[in-house]
Amino acid sequence: MAVVTEAPPPLTSTSPDKPPRRRGRWTPYWLLLPGILWLVVFFALPMIYQASTSVQTGSLEEGYKVTWHFATYWDALSEYWPQFLRSVLYAAAATVLCLLLGYPLAYLIAFRAGRWRNLIMILVIAPFFTSFLIRTLAWKTILADGGPVVATLNALHVLDVTSWLGWTSGDRVLATPLAVVCGLTYNFLPFMILPLYTSLERIDGRLHEAAGDLYARPFTTFRKVTFPLSTPGVVSGTLLTFIPAAGDYVNADLLGSTDTRMVGNVIQTQFLRVLDYPTAAALSFILMAAILFMVTFYIRRSGTEDLV
């Protein structure tokens, strides 16, 4: 383009040149338009609508009006803070478990699996072929009272310990915090494994050899080279696990009890059963703000932007 304009054509230099260039300048925006429309209609507008709902007062019979009643936020928070706290704790526990389970598996797939790599990858992704609900229901059967899992845990006196810690109650696992955390861990494990695998797989194998050559034992090599280089995967994996787990209500609903209700369950109940739309909307905004705050803090702390 630049070359063409530098050598000015003698006659009709201005008129035939300009229209295509003007059209070209707008092309990116035309291409962006569907995406922008989608976001406006299905994200921005509902957000604004929800924001306005959260500051309305009224009742179903008389209708709701925007009264800038910010006290709803305070009320929601003071009434439902245990559920908020529980959401964060369960999601954090599930994220830690996912990391502990997922890292070795991702490491295995990336470095040791050889020709089994694709098969293991398929096994990791396979659960996605069934619905989230069915998978969670399956855990109801796995953890059923008197079932083989619970019986084994009971026989090994594991349940005595977890019961003492308050994670289970008596000889039941179902309807306890442990069951909910198990369900969350299982459902979000692939979201941890995939980013971990991607970042581990990108590490040049020669770096391991170089570390060994420079007197690092295998574990030191892991601590000083492999793990630091996989932190982008750890960060995105924990975010992809923690964020949806904190807002989840299906696991707590199916595997938990009234004592394990998470903020997602409260929002669902407020919207669909109590029909208290302002409280539900306020709770949603509080959850969103809390997650945004935690994620920002986490990314700042882990310093991922500094990594290659």
Partner 1 sequence: MTTDNSGDVRLAGISKTYGSFSAVHPLDLTVPQGSFFALLGASGCGKTTTLRMIAGLEEPSTGTVHLGEQDVTHLPPYKRPVNTVFQSYALFPHLDIFENVAFGLRRRGIKSVKKQVEEMLDLVQLGEQARKKPHQLSGGQQQRVAVARALINHPKVLLLDEPLGALDLKLRRQMQLELKRIQTEVGITFVHVTHDQEEAMTMADTVAVMNGGRVEQLGAPTDLYENPQTTFVANFLGTSNLIKAEVDSGSGDEIVLKAGDGKLTLPKARCSAPTTAGGTVLVGIRPEKISLTHADDAGEIPAGRNRVSGTIAEASFIGVSTQYVVDSAVCPALAVYVQNVDRDPRLVPGADVVLHWSPAHTFGLDAAQDIDAGIETVEEEAA
State the residues that interact with partner 1 by CB under 8 A: 204, 206-207, 209-217, 220, 224-225, 228-229, 307-308
- Taking the least distance from each CB to partner 1, the nearer of 157 and 217 is 217
259 CB-near residues (< 8 Å, 6+ apart): 177
Q: CB–CB of 183/136 below 8 Å?
A: yes
Least distance in angstroms from the C-beta of 101 to partner 1: 25
Q: Rounded to an integer, what distance in angstroms lies between the CA atom of residue 46 and that of residue 296? A: 24
In the bound complex, what is the minimum distance in angstroms from residue 212's beta carbon to partner 1?
Answer: 4
CB of 214 to partner 1, least distance (A): 4
- Tell me the two tokens of residue 127: 């659960």
- Whichever of 212 and 244 has its CB closer to partner 1, that residue is 212
DSSP 44: I
When the beta carbons of 5 and 220 are compared against partner 1, the nearer one is 220
CA atoms within 13 A on the CB side of 180: 32
**Nearer to partner 1 by C-beta: 37 or 207?**
207
Going from the C-alpha of 44 to that of each of 30, 31, 73, the distances in angstroms are: 20, 19, 21
H/E stretch holding 40 reads none
* Between 199 and 251, CB nearer to partner 1: 199
Q: How far is CA 182 from the centre of its chain?
A: 16
The least distance separating partner 1 from the CB of residue 232, rounded to whole angstroms, comes to 10
Angle at alpha carbon of residue 175, lines to 171 and 180, rounded to 5°: 115
Q: Structure tokens of 10?
A: 């003698």
CB of 215 to partner 1, least distance (A): 4
* Minimum CB distance to partner 1 smaller for 161 or for 207: 207
State in angstroms the smallest separation of the CB of 225 from partner 1.
6
